[in-house]
Amino acid sequence: MNHLENREQGTGIRDQKTVPNSRSRQVAFAAALGALLLLAGCRQDMQDQPKMDPQRGSEFFADHRGARPQVLDTVARGQLREDTYFYTGVVQGPNGYKQELDEMPSEIPVTMEVLERGQERFNIYCTPCHSRVGNGLGEIVQRGFKPAANLHDQVRMSQPLSHYFYVMTHGYGAMPDYSAQLTPSDRWAVAAYIRALQLSQAATAKDVPTGTTIRNLKDVAAGEGHPEYAEPWPTPATAIQAYKPIASQGTPGMAPAYPADPAITIPKTAPPAAGKK
């Protein structure tokens, strides 16, 4: 009986020794299979995929260009610009050349919200050069930068409304374009605000609605406790010329005028002496 128990125990020991070996073989087989699958997946295509890198040549196309040109007569989604005046500020004139108009596009109604938006954008992007009142006395101009345009001189006052949109889109002279900072809608809003700003500095009693009380600028400034606001604005040393203030109204003197709008002075000459021609 003891002999049989010893045999059974011995068999049990042998069986216990064979179980780990079987599991080890299974784990090794699974690992080998996984490595085989991994090696099968690591093909050259994973490093050299069949795709076009930007600005790289290609042997696939006849012109050897990887970047393909846009298909003719197609428009990308969201880039259909049917109203060219809204996006450019110009139309084709009767002579075939670009023509600016003194009107807002139909997409932008002239409302108080539009003017407030234009004022906000103007104060952010335009005042460093043109100042908040548009007289060209911005902070960087006072520090030696090229004089900015005086939006209240005769040249600017005579410009059509879309001219300002065009300048903001393409830049002018030392002024860079602001097409990246201002959307077309914002550029039109700024143009509308510039026109309102011009009117605020050049309005007459006839422009005031009937029944509205008209107050003198000096009286308003004194009532607010800042009479210096009605004094002439100082012009920097870089100024080209400045308009004289109107003493009766306290209108501040304007900033450097555009060179195309020079002050005209007529020298006084004495009449010829009698008997001389």
Residue 164 resides in a domain: yes
Q: How far apart are the first and last CA of the chain?
A: 164
Report if residue 274 sits inside a domain: no
Domain-embedded: residue 136: yes
The pLDDT value recorded for residue 256 is 43
pTM: 0.57
Per-10-residue mean pLDDT of the chain, 277 residues long, equals: 49 49 81 77 64 81 85 82 87 89 92 96 94 86 80 89 95 90 96 92 81 83 84 57 48 44 52 59
Compute the distance between CA of residue 126 and CA of residue 225 in angstroms, rounded to an integer: 28
CATH of the domain at 89: 1.10.760.10
Number of domains the chain is built from: 1
Q: Examine residue 230 and state whether it is found in any structural domain, yes or no.
A: no
Q: Is 271 domain-assigned?
A: no
Structural domain containing residue 200: 85-204
What integer pLDDT is reported at residue 233 of this predicted model? Answer: 63
Does the residue 172 lie in any domain? yes
pLDDT of residue 58: 83
Residue 100, in any domain of the structure: yes
Assess if residue 61 is contained within a domain.
Answer: no
pLDDT at 267 (0 to 100) = 53
pLDDT at 31: 84
Say which residues have a Cβ less than 8 Å from residue 93's Cβ, sequence separation at least 6.
99
